[in-house]
Amino acid sequence: MYATEVPVFASVLQVPLLYFFEDEIDPDDIDHALLLETNRLPTLEAKQSALELVRVLARLY
- State how far the Cα of 34 lies from the Cα of 52, in Å rounded to an integer: 12
Tell me if 4 sits within 8 A of 10, measured CB to CB: no
1 or 12, greater pLDDT = 12
pLDDT tens-digit profile of 6-61? 778 888 998 876 677 766 667 677 777 778 888 888 999 999 998 898 888 888 86
Residues of the chain by 3-state class (helix, strand, coil), percent to 5: 75, 0, 25
Tell me if 41 sits within 8 A of 34, measured CB to CB: no
What does pTM read for this prediction?
A: 0.52
Single out the residue of 61, 50, 48 nearest to residue 5, CA to CA.
50
